Amino acid sequence: MESSAYKIVNDTIILERELTELDIFVKDFLEILKKYTSYLIVSGYVSISTGRTRGTEDVDCLIPTMPKEKLEELFNDLLKNNFWCYQAEVFADLKKYLSSKDNIRFARINELFPNMELIFVDKSKPLQLFELKNPQKIKIKDFLFMIPPIEFEIAYKENILAGKKDILDAKHLREFFLEYISEEKLRSFAKLIKETKNEKSI
Amino acid sequence: MKNQFEEEDYVIFYANELRKNPKYFKQQKMLIDSQIKSSKELFQKTFGIKNFNENARIYLRKLGILW
């Protein structure tokens, strides 16, 4: 299995391209985030980072729920490093958003887009918890980050998100990773996703 | 109006070409970098630097992103 646009080395997908401004934004953000928690980049940026030509305003990032004190440290570190939070100037003002389990967004100072959307994951979100615990490494130049297994991302887009944009993202991933994708894994993840979806809807 | 079938065909065709030839990543980089540069210029001009966060939040509330 070998594509000239990517290669697999020690289970890491290595993309053969230069960093974009979007990559640099994500890289700078993750440099801070990963000091405090594990994470997983999901959804649109997974497709875009592997070549899908479409715009995006937000980058979705799963993180496990964390103690308030640790989250406050992360919040302050981000502000110290030239990010601003959509919801609050100071951590105390985040309270109402955190208590309603809202996602929290950050952008660079004096910029609106792109923004990083932090999505808190706990046992009430079993599929997101599953992907968070099963990361796939991907690398562009010196930028190494975590995404879900490609087969999981495809199955999730096809079975859960299922909007036009998501279906096209899934088609891109299927074609781009044609030689890499395991049909067996794809079937297994699709089954897991459908079963979990059905359980949740009961 | 765009046809879903045509857009789907394009996505598959492009991904197939890109897989074989990473030179197409250069076009994607130009597109993304240009979008980010334009967005930065537009919103700094719209909201100003001094009260950027405050003005941005008013806009985000109108969009329904903030409550």
User: Which of B12, B19, B24 is the best mutation test for A, with the most CBs of A within 10 A?
Assistant: B19
Q: pLDDT by residue (tens digit) across A117-176?
A: 999 999 999 999 999 999 999 999 999 999 999 999 999 999 999 999 999 999 999 999
Do the Cβ atoms of B29 and A20 come closer than 8 Å?
Answer: yes
Q: How much of chain A, in percent, has pLDDT values that exceed 90?
A: 91
Q: What is the ipTM of this complex?
A: 0.90
* Residue among A103, A61, A109, A58 nearest A83 (CA): A109
| Separation of alpha carbons A105 and A82, rounded Å | 14
Q: How much of chain A, in percent, has pLDDT values that exceed 70?
A: 97
Q: Compare CB distances from A110 to B19, B27, B52 and report the shortest one's residue.
A: B52
Burial state string for A123-134 with b = 16 or more CB within 10 A and e = fewer than 16: eebebbebbbee
With an 8 Å Cβ cutoff, is A178 touching chain B? yes
Q: pLDDT by residue (tens digit) across B17-47?
A: 999 999 999 999 999 999 999 999 999 999 9
Estimate to the nearest angstrom the gap between the alpha carbon of A161 and the chain centroid.
Answer: 14
The model's pTM = 0.94
Residue keyed to tokens 């076009």: B27
> pLDDT confidence of A202, banded at 50, 70, 90?
very low
Q: pLDDT by residue (tens digit) across A170-184?
A: 999 999 999 999 999
Mean pLDDT of chain A: 95
With an 8 Å Cβ cutoff, is A112 touching chain B? yes
Q: pLDDT by residue (tens digit) across A38-77?
A: 999 999 999 999 999 888 889 999 999 999 999 999 999 9
Within the 49-108 window of chain A, which residues sit less than 8 Å (CB to CB) from chain B? 51-53, 55, 84, 86-87, 89, 105
In the numeric block, which tokens belong to residue B27? 């076009």
